[in-house]
Amino acid sequence: MKNIIIASTSTIHGGEPLDYLLDELQIFFKDTSEVLFIPYARPSGISHEEYTAKVNVAFQKIDKNVVGIHEFDNPKEAIRDAKGIFTGGGNTFVLVNQLYKNDLIDTIKTVVKNGTPYLGTSAGSNICGLTINTTNDMPIVYPPSFKTFGFVPFNINPHYLDPDPTSKHMGETRETRIKEFHKFNTQPVVGIREGSWLAVRGDKIVLKGALDARIFEYDKSPYEVKTETELSHLK
């Protein structure tokens, strides 16, 4: 049975990485003392080693050890053997490119569908949706495809940001961008604000955390849903 946390961000303003989620993660990863980390999204371009070391600091607080997938000769085997997986944030294009390069998309899909707990934050959450067509990231590399895991039957927009009515900047608001997405695509998009997450258990999808989420469905006006709302029907 699928068991997934799809979080908007790893870090909320003023906090330490994963701090706001640690209580949840203690339960989520209760059956393992070791979590396999996928550092491919390389925030600010840092190396896989540096990124893994940072994440280890956070997980030590709940007595979990983190091993980076780059430490294994055979990354597919590492995925198959893992008792828990975490994909961190950074650049979604860099992440997806590396996942395709190492031919890991199908392997991760299979183990997560079979029950390996999967935590994603930011870029690591984007890839839980059908495609990365609603990422906020700059396309600094060209991946072979925008298609991703499809653990949920819609797209994710992490770090969802409301329009700033005082802005004089002429770039598009997040809402405008997602509306443009729906001129070319029909799947729903869930905008998750920083500090909230989706909890997926089997076919049940529930919004968790302190904040409302914003839902964009094709040919409908966007609407807000409260925390604890079930989104299992959305597709």
8 noted as active-site residue: no
* CB atoms near residue 179 (< 10 Å): 14
Which among 10, 125, 159, 182 is annotated as catalytic?
A: 159
Sheet (strand 65-68) strand order:
65-68, 34-38, 85-87, 118-121, 3-7, 196-201, 204-209
Side-chain half-sphere exposure of 26, counting CA atoms within 13 A: 8
> Which CB sits closer to a second copy, 3 or 135?
135
When asked if residue 170 is in the footprint of a second copy (CB under 8 A), the reply is yes
- Give, in order, the Cα–Cα distances in Å from 226 to each of 69, 71, 84: 36, 41, 29
* Gap between the Cα atoms of 182 and 121, Å rounded: 24
70 noted as active-site residue: no
Span of 54-62, 63-71, 140-148, 222-230 interacting with a second copy by CB under 8 A? 140-148
User: What is the smallest separation between the CB atom of 232 and a second copy, expressed in angstroms?
Assistant: 26
In 3D, which of 130, 112, 111, 132 has the Cα closest to residue 122?
A: 132
* CB atoms near residue 140 (< 10 Å): 11
Both ends of the chain: CA-CA distance in Å? 19
Side-chain half-sphere exposure of 77, counting CA atoms within 13 A: 4
Q: Coil, strand or helix: which one is 54?
A: helix
User: What is the smallest separation between the CB atom of 34 and a second copy, expressed in angstroms?
Assistant: 27
User: What is the smallest separation between the CB atom of 156 and a second copy, expressed in angstroms?
Assistant: 13
- Give, in order, the Cα–Cα distances in Å from 192 to each of 7, 126, 142, 229: 8, 11, 25, 13
When asked if residue 176 is in the footprint of a second copy (CB under 8 A), the reply is yes
Q: Which amino acid is at 68?
A: G
When asked if residue 101 is in the footprint of a second copy (CB under 8 A), the reply is no
When asked if residue 40 is in the footprint of a second copy (CB under 8 A), the reply is no
Q: Of 106, 172, 224, 230, which one interacts with a second copy (CB under 8 A)?
A: 172
User: What is the smallest separation between the CB atom of 118 and a second copy, expressed in angstroms?
Assistant: 21
User: What is the smallest separation between the CB atom of 64 and a second copy, expressed in angstroms?
Assistant: 23
Q: Of 180, 203, 228, 230, which one interacts with a second copy (CB under 8 A)?
A: 180
Contact characters 42-81, a second copy, x per CB under 8 A: xxxx------------------------------------
Which among 8, 70, 125, 137 is annotated as catalytic?
A: 137
When asked if residue 210 is in the footprint of a second copy (CB under 8 A), the reply is no
Q: Which residues bind a second copy (CB under 8 A)?
A: 9, 11-14, 42-45, 90-91, 94, 132-142, 145-146, 159, 161, 168-172, 176-185, 194
